[in-house]
Structures are given as C-alpha cells and as structure tokens.
Structure 1
Amino acid sequence: MMNIVLLEPEMPANTGNIGRTCVATGTRLHLIGPLGFKLSEKAVKRAGLDYWDKLDVTVYSDYQDFLDRNPEALGKMYFATTKAHKVYSEVAYEADCYLMFGKESAGIPEEILVENEDHCVRIPMWGDIRSLNLSNSAAIVLYEALRQHGFEKMELNGHLHRLQWK
C-alpha cells in the first residue's frame, strides 16, 4: 500500500482533496502536526466529499513521532521538493513507499532534505513558478508510483452510467 505523508499541512481544502485521492487509490494518509486546521473543519470534509469516513488516516504530533511509529518508512520515503536534483519520474518507487510533501508556505525543511538528498524528487515546471498546488503535486507523484506497479488492484475500465460503450 502506498503512503502519502503531509508534513504540517496548512490548508484544509488541500488535505481534503488529498484524502479523496487516497481513498480512490487505496493509499494511506499520514498527517504530521502541527496541522494548520482542525480535521473537523467543514473545508476538509467538503473537499473530501463523502469519502472521508473511508480514509485510512493517522495523525502524528511531529516528524519524530511519525518516524518512531513508522521505522520502516525512512528507507523508502521520497521527499517532494522544488529543490531536488531528480525528477519524480526518474525514481523506481517501492509498492509500499512513503511520498512526503511539505506545508504549502514553506515545503519540507531543508534539514530533512539534506539528510535524504538521494530520495528527493521534483516536478518540472516552466519559468519562475514557485510551486504547484499541494494536492496536484501529491496526485502527480502518487499516480506515477502507482503506474510503475501497474495500478495494482485499481479499476482500469471505465463504465457509463446509463449507456453502453460500443
């Protein structure tokens, strides 16, 4: 099972969107505090729609709490940052890897990045754009990791509601 890790997320709508993506992909969500909002906020629930109760989510007090409770994570964790040398599509992701994304205003602290340089990945962008939206970034990297594993256990065929495909 894939894992999305959000380090100190600040915007409830982004976390709600990412939670919905996690439910749609069978991915576990890890939220590392302090959070910039309460999980009970309407904006989280609204973005996650009616999927939030189906989400496999764990909340941690801080980064050390996350590492203590997930000792296997560090060797297979990838850190999404605009500062990385590698592009996200150049990495071979483990089927149970951890994809970390930092808070919207500052990203992942550089102290964490320099300790994990070989596992830092970035999404290419045009020009002087500072970064993509957090929920978009999470979806881009997650779907690449899932693609590499053949979208295991995911529905690959679309179905119309009222009509049939020819």
Structure 2
Amino acid sequence: MLNIVLFEPEIPANTGNIGRTCVATNTRLHLIEPLGFRLNEKAIKRAGMDYWDQLDVTTYIDYNDFLEKNPGAKIYMATTKAPNVYTDVKYEPDCYIMFGKESAGIPEEILVHHKEDSIRIPMVGDIRSLNLGNSVAIVLYEALRQNQFAGMNLEGHLHRLEWDI
C-alpha cells in the first residue's frame, strides 16, 4: 500500500480532495502537524465528500514524530527544487511520497538530506507550483502505474447499455 504524506498542509479543501484520492486508490494518508485547519471542519469534509470516514489517515505532532513512527520508510520528497523528474524513479509498493505545505513546500533543512529521493513535476517558465491536490494525483498515479495498479479496478462497465463493437 502506497503512502501520501502532507507536511503541514494549510488548505482544508486540498487535504479533503487528497483524502478522497487516497480512498479511491487504497492509499494511506499521513498528516504532519501543525495543520492549517481542524480535521472536523466542514471544508475538509465537503472536499472529501462522503469518503472521509473510509480514509486510512494518521496524524503526527511533527516531522520527527513521523520519522520515529515510520522507521526505515522509503520517502520520496516532491518539491519544485528537486533534481529528479517524478517519472525517473522506481516507486516501491509501500513507499511514502511527501508533499510540503501550500505556501512554502518541504523545508530545505529536510530536503538537503534527500537529494536522490527528491522528485519534481516538470513545468515551464516561472510557475511557482501546481495545486497540491493535482500534484499528489500526478505523482501517486505514476507510482500506481509502476506497480501495475495493484488491487484496482482496471475496467469499467456501462450500467444500462452494451458497448458498441
């Protein structure tokens, strides 16, 4: 099972959307405090819709608490400062992919120890970053693809009609 880690997320709608994506992909969500919202806020529940109660989510008081409770975890750091493109790494089935807070990303004091495991989504020009929910979806689905979408529905079905052959 893959793991998404949000370092000090600030916007409840982003976290709610990411939570819904995690439920849809059977991915664990890890939230490192402080959070810019309360987990019982309407905005987070609205974005996560009625899936929030199905979410496997763990909170941590800080980054060190996260590391202590997940010893030996393989962590990829998603950041615009990374030297590696997100498609150039091999995601292990139980790895952790960390994303920073919306206003500042992952602190450089953490990144400096993770050069080989830092990944970025390519962008043109001086765009600062993509939306956090979009970034999580892009990288998570690449990790899922590399792991053959293990345990996921790979085929959809029409409800009332047959496919035209």
- Specify if TM > 0.5: yes
Q: How does 1:22-61 map to 2 (within 5 A)?
A: 22-61=22-61
Q: How many residues align?
A: 164
Partner of 2:6: 6
State the partner residue of 1:153. 151
TM-aligned CA deviation for residue 67 of structure 1 = 0.6
Task: Tell me, in whole angstroms, the C-alpha distance in 2 between the residues paired with 1:158 and 1:24.
Answer: 14
1:102 corresponds in structure 2 to 100
Kindly provide the CA deviation profile for residues 52-72 of structure 1, in whole angstroms up to 9, marking residues without a partner as x: 010000011100111111112
What's the CA shift for 1:151? 0.3
Cα deviation for residue 84 of structure 1 reads 0.6
Give the AA of the match of 1:152: A
- Deviating above 4 A after TM superposition, structure 1's stretches of 4 or more consecutive aligned residues are none
Pick from 87, 95, 117: which aligns with 2:85?
87
For 2:160, the equivalent position in structure 1 comes to 162
Matches of 2:162 and 2:31, distance apart in 1: 41
Unaligned runs of 5+ in 2: none
- Residues in 2 aligned to 1:47 and 1:162: alpha-carbon distance in whole angstroms: 29
Deviation at 1:165, TM superposition (A): 1.7
Distance 1:47 1:161 in 2: 26
Superposed displacement of residue 164, structure 1: 2.2
Find the residue that maps to 2:116 and give its secondary structure. Answer: helix
Pick aligned residue for 2:119 from 115, 118, 121: 121
Aligned residue identity for 1:65: D
Residue in 2 aligned with 1:20?
Answer: 20
User: Take 1:90 and 1:19, find their aligned partners in 2: how far apart are those partners?
Assistant: 25
Q: 2:134 corresponds to which residue?
A: 136
User: 1:24-70 CA deviation, whole Å, 9 max, x = no partner?
Assistant: 00000000000000000111001101100100000111001111111
SS across alignment from 1:48: helix
> Alignment RMSD, CA only?
0.7
Give how far 1:161 is off. 2.6
Q: Percent identity?
A: 74
How much does 1:162 deviate?
Answer: 2.4
Q: Does 1:69 align with 2:66?
A: no
Structure 1 residue runs of 5 or longer lacking an equivalent are none
Distance across 1 between alignment mates of 2:103 and 2:160: 44
CA distance in 2, matches of 1:162, 1:127: 47
